[in-house]
Amino acid sequence: MNSRFTMRAEAPAYSRRIVRSILIGEDVEKIEAAALLTSELVTAAMRDGSRDPDLFVDVRRGHLHVEVYDSHSTSSPVRVDAGADPLEPSSPATRESALRIFDELSSDWGQEVRPDISALWFDLDL
């Protein structure tokens, strides 16, 4: 199953509700980890890019993929891996905390930038 949602001002809280509702019946710790990571992606996307990013959620065979993207990006193509700090938060303490959360809770995460889209994403084994 996969779903797309357009985020608005209340996006971080709304994104957590979406993920929790999609993952009903999964392990509670996994649901809360997914909700937290999704909220972090949406917050970063809204802070650094579009005010109305899109949320893509895909659940298949014990695996969750969440992507938050801005389809109005004009950045040049580049692939940024997890260790390269794609979130670019405002302070070193915030950056370290965000990176630690993604490293500890997700099975993989990163950023992809193409001429037509900029996406932050994470994967989580359920």
How far apart, in whole angstroms, are the C-alpha atoms of residue 122 and residue 35?
11
Q: Which of 22, 50, 48 is closest to 34 using CA atoms?
A: 22
Q: What mean pLDDT comes out for the span 8-30?
A: 89
Confidence of residue 12 (pLDDT cuts 50, 70, 90): confident
Structural domains present in the chain = 2-125 (3.30.565.10)
Segment 74-95 shows an average pLDDT of 44
Task: Determine the average pLDDT of the residues in 10-34.
Answer: 93
Which pLDDT score, from 0 to 100, does residue 125 have?
96
Average model confidence (pLDDT) across the chain: 77
Cα separation, 79 vs 68, in Å, equals: 15
